[in-house]
């Protein structure tokens, strides 16, 4: 049987799993639609191998950790720590359970069970059936948070949704006169470009495209370019706009004018899920941002607030009452606030991660 984590009996595992979790974070933005996974091999209280899933299609973390072991003869007397349940199916790489069993590793400690329909406990069961001692749940919440995009995608059948905007000190996102307008400082824009490399897609509405003609690429931070998603009605935008001229994947989603936009958010997210979009950064105007908030289908809100006052203009979407401030980060002249659903709120209950 799989042994559930207990502080009384398994606290010794926490430092090694924390190292595996640290390794997994280093792969942010490189593995989607696969999860970010870290693994550590420990023998006699020392790390003898470690690894992480570097990118989509590359060997998994368990493989990298085993390959890095300086003395393979210690594998049959070592413990493998991995942040996500080892796979037991053929995908772009062979099953990790096969390698673990071939190396005769007797103990495997896992942070989270895998919600993917091809895994869902099968990897754990394969190891247990072969006589491996498996402990599950060490640093489960921390490691699940690292893979919150992956868990949301598979448990809720939709992308992880991050709403992002910048607003003036008095709550406006743009002046009344239409046209491109930089509200946030350069440091904040660099931060946003980093986020674009970390999320699978960036979503905007037609109004934002017509007003700002955004590029939506990560020009101020090195990394992968996101998929661009355009929500529009009707689809009349011309090829002269940057979003239509830039290279890379573009998903165009047409909405229905007769239906409230908030009622169409589930269909928008369903279409993104069908396109294997693990997460989406919503950089739209306040109307579309409000539609996501009203639908209850959001996971984070990131707001830059500047010191400047505008007095009038286009108001920002109000922060919902079910949101809780988790971080407040000053820097570069702007203040970044990050909100997530309150614990116990309807959205929080929807977003809870249950082991399969």
Residues with a known catalytic role? 62
Helix (H) / strand (E) containing 79: strand 79-84
Integer Cα distance of 69 and 17 in angstroms: 17
The three-state secondary structure class of 34 is coil
CB burial of 39-67 (b: ≥16 within 10 Å; e: otherwise) equals bbbbbeeebbbbbbbbeeebbbbbbbbbe
For residue 173, give both structure tokens: 């996102």
DSSP state of 158: S
Contact, 144 vs 112, CB < 8 A? yes
Contact, 186 vs 217, CB < 8 A? no
From residue 104, give the alpha-carbon distance in Å to each of 2, 46, 79, 165, 237.
18, 19, 10, 51, 59
Residue 168, φ and ψ in degrees, nearest 5: -75, 170
């Amino acid at each position: 049987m799989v042994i559930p984590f207990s502080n009384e009996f398994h606290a010794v595992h926490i430092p090694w799993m924390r190292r595996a979790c640290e390794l997994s974070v280093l792969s942010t933005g490189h593995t989607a639609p696969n999860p970010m996974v870290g693994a550590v091999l420990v023998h006699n209280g020392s790390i003898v191998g470690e690894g992480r899933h570097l990118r989509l299609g590359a060997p998994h973390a368990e493989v990298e950790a085993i390959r890095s072991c300086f003395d393979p003869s210690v594998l049959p007397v070592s413990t493998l720590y991995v942040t996500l349940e080892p796979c037991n199916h053929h995908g772009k790489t062979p099953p990790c359970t096969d390698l673990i069993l071939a190396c005769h590793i007797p103990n495997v400690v896992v942070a989270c069970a895998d919600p993917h329909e091809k895994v869902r406990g099968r990897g754990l069961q394969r190891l247990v059936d072969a006589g491996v001692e498996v402990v599950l749940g060490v640093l489960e919440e921390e490691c699940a948070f690292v893979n919150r995009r992956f868990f949301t995608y598979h448990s809720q059948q939709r992308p992880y949704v991050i709403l992002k905007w910048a607003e003036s000190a008095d709550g406006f996102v743009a002046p009344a006169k239409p046209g491109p307008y930089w509200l946030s400082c350069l440091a904040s824009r660099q931060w946003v470009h980093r986020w674009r490399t970390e999320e699978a897609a960036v979503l905007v509405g037609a109004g934002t495209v017509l007003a700002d003609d955004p590029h939506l690429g990560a020009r101020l931070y090195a990394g992968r370019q996101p998929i661009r998603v355009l929500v529009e009605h009707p689809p009349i935008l011309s090829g002269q706009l940057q979003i239509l001229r830039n290279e890379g994947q573009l998903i165009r989603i047409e909405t229905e004018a007769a239906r409230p936009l908030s009622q169409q958010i589930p269909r928008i997210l369903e279409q993104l899920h069908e396109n294997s979009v693990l997460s989406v950064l919503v950089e739209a105007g306040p109307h579309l941002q409000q539609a996501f908030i009203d639908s209850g289908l959001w996971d984070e809100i990131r707001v830059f607030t500047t010191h400047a006052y505008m007095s009038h203009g286009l108001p920002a979407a109000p922060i919902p009452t079910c949101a809780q401030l988790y971080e407040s980060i000053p820097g570069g002249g702007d203040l970044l606030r990050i909100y997530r659903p309150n614990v116990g709120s309807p959205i929080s209950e929807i977003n809870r991660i249950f082991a399969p």
